[in-house]
Amino acid sequence: MRYDLNLLPIFVALMEERSVTRAAERVGMTQPALSNALARLRTMLQDPLFVRERYGIQPTPIALELAPVIAEALAKLDDAVLGQQEFDPATAERVLTIAPNGYVEFVLMPAIVAKLREVAPGIKLHLTPYGNDLVETGVISGTTALVLGRIVDPPDNLVVQHVMDEGLSCIVRADHPQIGDSMTRDQFERLKHVNVVPPGRMRAGLFQAMAQRQLKRDVAISVTNFFAVAEMVAVTDYCATLPNLICRRLAHDPRLRVLAAPVDLGTFPIEMAWHLRYRHDPSHRWLRSLIGEVAASLRVERDRHS
């Protein structure tokens, strides 16, 4: 039997989006055109494949059985085609979409952009919000090239690579009336705190570390990004517990002082993840390598000053 390979990416989009409208947007088709393609898919595969429900569409048992086979076939085809392509970063011109969490955007992205300007001036980055989960980043559907941050419960179609580990320190205002050159556990627990609320389940790291060490924290205010913390701490007697590399940046502010946490809060991982279809893409492999190099240089700098 002859198969129309052009229909298979549409099948994958429908499986992952569970919505005809979102699948059409993803593959760049109008909704009527995608509905026509779905009709041809149903004829070709001899099954309804998707049934309408109140909130979108749901795959049939046959569609669920075919999904991993089709995804693997497309991945192998991508590998075969992309593996033959060459990539020259010095002359390449393209836009790559990345979803960094707040930490990565504050610490890693400026160094990544500076490196790109130096070695690949034609490569432009589009940053998209990390969102509440991996689906919102676009990495699961493949519309986003990379997600950078803490990867929780990745699906089977994502490849996850460890980038670095990071620890935690505290910041207070430089002339804090109660805190000297160090902070005790009792002082930490009596202070009011500024909390940075990460998206979704990302908040588990610090919360779990404190719970495991039975360290209490009286949160006076929660903010959504690291940029707001310095101003909050500088004009109050509050404390904030932040990643070490962010504390190093804020230490340049004469209004602030960085202190070791009163207990060892351990480390948390920074990871990157990408869709299987990008596994052998030369430009994607090059970008992943560049990010690894930037992270390694930041680790060396951090460890040298710790």
Q: Please write the tens of the pLDDT for every residue from 203-217.
A: 556 778 888 899 999
* Residue ending a domain, choose from 31, 56, 82: 82
pLDDT in tens, 79-113: 666 555 667 888 888 888 999 998 999 999 999 99
Candidates 297, 301, 287; CA nearest to 116 is: 287
Range of the structural domain that residue 202 is part of: 168-266
**CA distance readout (Å), 5 to 50, 74, 116:** 19, 9, 36
Is 261 contained in some domain?
A: yes
Is 87 contained in some domain?
A: no
133: CATH: 3.40.190.10
Same domain, 180 and 219: yes
Same domain, 74 and 111: no
Give the separation between CA 137 and CA 105, rounded to whole angstroms.
14
Same domain, 275 and 234: no
Same domain, 35 and 152: no
Same domain, 260 and 190: yes
Is 47 contained in some domain?
A: yes
Same domain, 224 and 298: no
Same domain, 76 and 101: no
Is 89 contained in some domain?
A: no
Is 74 contained in some domain?
A: yes
Give the separation between CA 239 and CA 223, rounded to whole angstroms.
13
Residue 65 has pLDDT above 60, yes or no: yes
Same domain, 181 and 252: yes
Same domain, 276 and 262: no
Is 88 contained in some domain?
A: no
Residue 16 has pLDDT above 50, yes or no: yes
Same domain, 236 and 255: yes
Same domain, 128 and 42: no
Secondary structure of 18-78 in HEC code, one letter for each residue: CCHHHHHHHHCCCHHHHHHHHHHHHHHHCCCCEEEECCEEEECHHHHHHHHHHHHHHHHHH
pLDDT in tens, 103-149: 999 999 999 999 999 999 999 999 988 877 787 788 887 778 899 99
Is 75 contained in some domain?
A: yes
Number of separate domains in the chain: 3
The number of CA neighbours under 13 Å toward the Cβ of 151 is 22
65: CATH: 1.10.10.10
* Residue ending a domain, choose from 82, 106, 130: 82
- The residue that leads in pLDDT, 258 or 202, is 258
Is 103 contained in some domain?
A: yes
* Residue ending a domain, choose from 56, 82, 108: 82
Residue 22 has pLDDT above 90, yes or no: no
